[in-house]
Every structure is written in structure tokens, then in C-alpha cells.
Amino acid sequence: MRRRWPFHDRAVPVVAWRTAILLMGVGAEAWNIKDMLASGERASEHFAYFTVQANLAVIALMLALLLVPPERRPRWFDHARGAVTAYIVLTGLVYAVLLADPEEVWSWSIEFTNAAQHRIIPWLVGLDWLLVATARPLRVARASWWMLYPLAYLACSWARGALLDGWYPYPFLDPGEHGGWAGLLWPTGQVLLAFVLGILVVAGVGRLRYRGPGARAEPRSSASLASRPSSTSSRPHANSSPKA
């Protein structure tokens, strides 16, 4: 008999770390909003950052994981969970590689919101995806749909900057930082390639981690044992008495 995998939706450690992710996400974003109001930053700019949007998606995901039982979740839920996982993990990676100052990459002497939204939450959500299997097997090819949101974000950011107020949330999206639109091919292309590869990795891990309904072998019941022929009854005329 194979023992049941200890990390599942109702396991105490899983509920505990998902609750921790939820509380940390809410606390970090509440802190951000407080700073936004104090500094006079426009809400239209603050909520336009991919980091903020990805962390808000994590909050919604954790609420759904904690409040909606697995049997009541829709069929597309595993893909939504995988997509949010990919977004937040890639948020942390892109920040560390492209956006963070060199002295910040390995330093922990940074503010709470920065550490929570760019480091701790991405790691915890990635760990959750690694340890808690999906309810259904994922088709990796269908994970290509997860790119729709990053592409839409890219298009909206460029449209806003070019047509509305000239503001871009990140340097790799700003043509003014790279000598025009043609200069964005390399920096933006790097980010898009990272998202494509990251999504494939996350989806592949989800596919490999699926344990299926047969992951836990059920013990044989006494009825099934009784229905199997014994070594004596399998011989002809071993028991010739009529059945009652």
C-alpha cells in the first residue's frame, strides 16, 4: 500500500503556508497603498506595474484555494493556478535579473514590500506548485494560453505610453530609454522569451507532479478477497456441496 502524498489541499502545512502567503500579500499591498497615498503617486501608475497585478492575482488565488473545496473548483482552475504561479515566479526572476540594483540582488536590507512581493511570495507560490499536485493532468500545449495576459499587458503599456501620458512602467518598455521603438527589440524580447520558457517549465512541472486518482493504493476489501478462488476451490470437485 502506497502512502498518500502528505501535501494536499486539506493538509495542515499546506493550509498554513497558503494562509501565510495570503496575509503577506495583503499586508505588503496595504503598505504599498499607504505609501502611494503619502507620496502622491498616481493610482493609475501604481496598479499598472506587473508586480502589483501579479501579487493581487496571488491574493485572489490563495483565497480561492483556501475557501473553495477541490471538488467544487471548475475544470480550468488548475490552468489559472499554473498561470498565476508562472506570473509571480517570473516577476521575481525578471526583477532580480533586469530591474534590481546590483547591490540589492543578494541583499536583504530592503523594504518589506520589496522583499515580500519580489522574493518571498514568488518562492512560496512556486513551492506550493511544486509540492501540491493539480487536480487534473495539465496539457502543456494549452499553457500557451497563459501568454495572453503578458502580451495584453505589453500592448496596453505601450498604448498608454505612446497615446496617453508618455509613462511606461518599466525601462525595458520605454522607447525613450533605448533610442526608439526598434531599440526595444532586445530588452523586451528577453523578457518575452523568459516568460515563454518560464511558462513551459511551470506547466511541465505541473504535468510531472500530477499524481492521478490512483496515487494512493486502496487496501483490498474482505469481499474482494473472498471472491477470489482459493487453492482448494480451484480444483475440480474440491467442494461439491450445493450453495445455500
Residue 195 lies in a domain: yes
CB of 65 closer than 8 Å to CB of 135: no
Residue 225 pLDDT level (bands cut at 50, 70, 90): very low
pLDDT of 13 above 70: yes
Residue 243 lies in a domain: no
User: What is the tally of structural domains in the chain?
Assistant: 1
Residue 85 pLDDT level (bands cut at 50, 70, 90): very high
Helix/strand/coil for 244: coil
- CA torsion sign for 46, 129, 78, 9 is negative
Residue 175 lies in a domain: yes
Range of lowest pLDDT (53-62, 159-168, 233-242): 233-242
pLDDT of 27 above 60: yes
C-alpha cell at 212: 492521478
Q: What percent of the chain has pLDDT over 70?
A: 83
Q: What is the residue range of 124's domain?
A: 12-216
Residue 4 lies in a domain: no
Helix/strand/coil for 211: coil
Residue 3 lies in a domain: no
pTM: 0.83
Residue 34 pLDDT level (bands cut at 50, 70, 90): very high
Rounded-to-integer distance, Cα 78 and Cα 136, Å: 7
Rounded-to-integer distance, Cα 199 and Cα 111, Å: 29
